[in-house]
Amino acid sequence: MQTKITIVGAGAAGLFCAGLLGQKGFDVTVIDNGKKLGRKILMSGGGKCNFTNLDVEAKHYISQNRHFCKSALKRFSQWDFIQLVNQYHIAYHEKDHGQLFCDNSAQDIVDMLIQECQKGQVKFMLKTQLEDVEAEQQGFKLSTSQGFVDTDKLIIATGGQSMPALGMTAIGYKIAEKFSIPIVPVKAGLVPFTLHKPLLDVLSSLSGIAVLVEVSNERISFKENLLFTHRGLSGPAILQISSYWQVGEEITINLLPDLEFESTFKPLLESNRNQSLKNCLAQILPKRLVDVLIQLNFISDTIVKQLNPKQQFELYKKLTQWRIIPNGTEGYRTAEVTLGGVSTDALSSKTMAANTQPNLYFIGEVVDVAGWLGGYNFQWAWSSAFACAQSFN
């Protein structure tokens, strides 16, 4: 008699794991509360799905145990997933920092995962809410909106709480808690910042403007684009630092990440001595941003030659050390990932199995492993799903 495996969640981790297990001959059913498979995949990367990264290491992940992800990432690497993508002749391209995106559409990745599931005769129960789980002698009894489901093994791939509009819920954490599996407190990650007034009122006029910056706190820094929005700050640099930000903490924005004082900035001032400072700086920064910095009294509206050497350096320091305390983040509504989740102390890094509850597994974003922006969270989904599937004989 076939072993029955039920996977809760039809996202990246759930679909990939289902296809692998189905092709190994198991009786696999995937339950999901949505009416469509891979909803978050379809939304990702502006509809192009940043499905992995050419450079994947443990340092690209946030977890209370930073070593936990190493085993899975090693056993199913980015190269393994790229090989699968190539088998399906999906066209893709590389963007900055090794990010890989579909040429056509994220639908290509979803279609690939569905075909992998079809090869393994995986069954789907869509538009189905999981309401409760009871452990039984030989597995679990699931109470769902479509009735009871008996299963020998249960894999939780419900994701986090980011993007609740896509139907993301806390059910994965509730199941863990039911079986006394600890949860690392969750919060939104890879998420835009909101700003306090009156700073917001001034900076919101820059909505839509992007600028290359290096943004940092006391622990880490990221050099990427910052995007001004009508709610605050966004763009890759901000999303990255948000995962490392604590409420009330200051961030430092370097508006001139590629300019050294002696070799670049000072010569720029010297060669534009008779210009207004505003026009001079507009050669290296968006003009509207310079206007706003003057409006904030952050820099003065003067002629370049009126600045003595000390004032020139003070100006450079200001532009490279703009300190802001965000009001908060936009929360789960726009977050790309959920930080925290099922504690890695309670799971096997080799199989993703719960240490204290037989036949129960957790994979993907529901686990306390969150990646940087750039395809890392998808790679964790593929790798953790593979680790789990390989443990089934």
Residue 393: the pLDDT is 86
As a whole number, mean pLDDT of residues 304-320 equals 97
Residue 283 is assigned to a structural domain of this protein: yes
Same domain, 9 and 128: yes
Whether residue 166 has pLDDT greater than 80: no
In a domain, 299, yes or no: yes
Residue ranges making up the domain that contains 97: 4-188+339-390
Domain stop point among 329, 360, 377: 329
In a domain, 265, yes or no: yes
Q: Specify whether 251 is located in the same domain as 124.
A: no
Give the CATH number for residue 57: 3.50.50.60
Answer yes or no: is 14 within a domain.
yes
Q: Read off the pLDDT of each residue in 202-214 and give the average, rounded to a whole number.
A: 97
154 and 34 part of one domain: yes
Predicted local confidence at residue 276, as pLDDT = 96
| 184/207 same-domain check | no
Q: Are residues 140 and 15 in the same domain?
A: yes
On the question of pLDDT at 165 being above 80, the answer is no
Does the pLDDT value for residue 272 go beyond 90? Answer: yes
3-state secondary structure the chain: CCCEEEEECCCHHHHHHHHHHHHCCCEEEEECCCCCCCHHHHHHHHHCCEEEECCCCHHHEECCCCCCCHHHHHHCCHHHHHHHHHHCCCCEEECHHHEEEECCCCHHHHHHHHHHHHHCCCEEECCCCEEEEEEECCEEEEEECCEEEEECEEEECCCCCCCHHHCCCCHHHHHHHHCCCCEEEEEEECCCEECCCCHHHHHHHHCCCEEEEEEECCCCEEEEEEEECCCEEECHHHHHHHCCCCCCCCEEEECCCCCCHHHHHHHHHHHCCCCEHHHHHCCCCCHHHHHHHHHCCCCCCCEHHHCCHHHHHHHHHHHHCEEECCCEECHHHCCCEEEEEECHHHECCCCCEECCCCCEEECHHHECCEECCCCHHHHHHHHHHHHHHHCCC
Q: Is residue 334 part of a domain?
A: no
User: Quick one: 289 and 347 in the same domain?
Assistant: no
Residues 69-95 have a mean pLDDT of: 98
**274 and 152: one domain?**
no
Q: Examine the domain organization and report whether 21 and 102 are in the same domain.
A: yes
When pLDDT is averaged across residues 88-95 and rounded to a whole number, the result is 98
Instruction: Say if residue 9 is in the same domain as residue 64.
Output: yes
Residues 313 and 372 in one domain: no
In a domain, 206, yes or no: yes
Is 24 part of a structural domain of the chain? yes
Mean pLDDT for the chain overall? 96
368 shares a domain with 316 = no
* Domains in the chain, number: 2
CATH of residue 324: 2.40.30.10
Which of 296, 329, 362 delimits the end of a domain?
A: 329
- Please determine, for residue 212, whether its predicted confidence score (pLDDT) is greater than 80: yes
Tell whether 89 is covered by a domain: yes
51 in the same domain as 178: yes
What pLDDT, on a 0 to 100 scale, did the predictor assign at position 1? 75
Q: How confident is the model at residue 314, as a pLDDT?
A: 97
Domain boundary at 329, 357, 375, which?
A: 329
Answer with the residue of higher pLDDT: 153 or 138.
153
According to the model, what pLDDT value does residue 205 have? 96
- Give this prediction's pTM: 0.95
Predicted confidence at residue 115, as pLDDT, reads: 98
Main-chain phi, psi angles of 139, to 5 degrees: 135, -130
